[in-house]
Amino acid sequence: MTQPYDAAAPPGPPDDPSEQPASQPPLRRSKRQKLVGGVCGGLGRHYDLDPVIFRVGLGVLAVTGGLGLIFYGFAWLFVPLDDEDENEARRLLTGRVDGATLSAVLFALIGCGLFLSMLRNGTVLGFAVMLSIALTGAAYWSQRRRLADPGTGPVDPVAAQVASVAPPETQAPPVPGAPSWWRDPIVKDGTTGPVGTGYLWGPQNAVVEEAPERARSAAPAPRPPRRPDPASRGPRGIGGRVFLLAVLAGGLGTGLSWDARPLGTSLQIGLSCALAVFGLGIAVSAFRGRTGVGTILLTVITALLLTGASALPKQISTDWMRTNWQPASASDVRPRYALGSGVGTLDLSDVRIPADGSVATRAEVGAGRLKVVVPKDATVELRMNVGLGDVRLPGERRQDFDLRTEHFRDETLKPPKPSGAARSDKPAGTLRLDLEVGVGQVEVARAAK
């Protein structure tokens, strides 16, 4: 007995699974695609993107400001693993601490430290913000694309790979006299009558009728080797072209800004162009072509170089020079002497300072060596700042090389005690020097006379 049709009843689910609306999987850390904590694998499955995009993006954000480490650490803490209800943060609060929980906390702490150290660098923070916006936009676009297509659902990459490499089902041997499904009938021009369909394999007593011309042939003609279908080879690699374009973009960006910008800024422009090409190539490889581990490694190296270039002092220029400043009197001493890159020598041996007077000046070198020769009979008050390098004062040997970072030093050099006829000479005044070198060496020496 059939049931009456109720028009008010809601329609049942469609029989075809492809017609069912696509459901977004919950955000969980992945067990299968797991390199560190499974965060990027879970993000790729949740937003239907290649996890490599998230790995590269978070890796670049980790070295350019620490935002990638902060996000990864907190996601590791608060996003549970597949088939688990508790996250690492809950285990931490209940005292059940293991290696995964400590690693997540360590990631977050290191990221916070890097982020605080980069607060003054607006260029790096701006790049990190732009990359974060790009990753967020890509995830949102991929999610909207999947929801707009009902027939598209989440695909497990591991299951798809297993299905693609699975061997074909084993077929039973053909029945004697039955048509063979292994090859098509061989028909030769001018033949009449039944044409045999020889088996590739089968029973030994199978009776096959052949055409007279084929029966008289001594041996079958050799079959030409079968060429693989280009479509079955998979997407072509684009890593080499991406690398060449990145080198070209980096060289072009650095070359155009080499003469007009400081060294650090010029390198930042070139490396930023190269990093943008690498990121674009990886994004394109998610849809067309493919890139390998080498491209990802070069992307991380480029990001590290960009971080180092952003830390260079802005005083470093792109031209190496040798400059000598030698004022003849106290009135000729300028308030400031500056050199971008090279060797700068400030010779103050001819400057005579009155006993009750003082002279002050400042000397800067971005990268290189700064040598200052002070008067023999003057009291010298030094204030030195070296970003990375060494400081050498009178009386120190050349072998005493002490390389330091952020080297701040204040010294007061008293004039040597006069002897003999020079005891009646009045002592000179005070010379105040403010010396700064970004990368290199500061050397202070006394004049011989």
Q: With H, G, I as helix, E, B as strand and everything else as coil, classify residue 342.
A: strand
Q: What is the pLDDT of residues 117-126, one digit of tens each?
A: 677 677 777 8
Question: 380: which residues sit within 8 A by CB, 6+ positions away?
Answer: 374, 412, 413, 430, 431, 432, 433, 444
More confidently predicted of 365 and 396: 365
More confidently predicted of 4 and 366: 366
Q: What is the pLDDT of residues 143-162, one digit of tens each?
A: 787 777 655 555 555 555 55
> Is the pLDDT reported for residue 214 higher than 80?
no
Question: Do residues 159 and 304 lie in contact, with contact meaning Cβ atoms separated by under 8 Å?
Answer: no
> Is the pLDDT reported for residue 205 higher than 50?
no
> Is the pLDDT reported for residue 390 higher than 70?
yes
Q: What is the average pLDDT value for the chain, to the nearest integer?
A: 75
Mean pLDDT of 356-365: 90
Whether the CA torsion 397, 399, 400, 406 is positive or negative: it is: positive
- pLDDT reported for residue 372: 93
pTM over 0.75: no
> Is the pLDDT reported for residue 389 higher than 90?
no
Alpha-carbon distance of 187 to 255, in angstroms, equals 69
Q: What is the pLDDT of residues 405-428, one digit of tens each?
A: 778 888 888 887 765 544 445 667
Alpha-carbon distance of 43 to 27, in angstroms, equals 7
Alpha-carbon distance of 247 to 273, in angstroms, equals 9
Question: 101: which residues sit within 8 A by CB, 6+ positions away?
Answer: 77, 88, 91, 92
Using N-to-C axis directions, what is the helix angle for 293-310 and 122-148, rounded to 10°? Answer: 150
Mean pLDDT of 372-385: 90
Burial of 109 (0-12, 13-18, 19+ CB in 10 A): middle
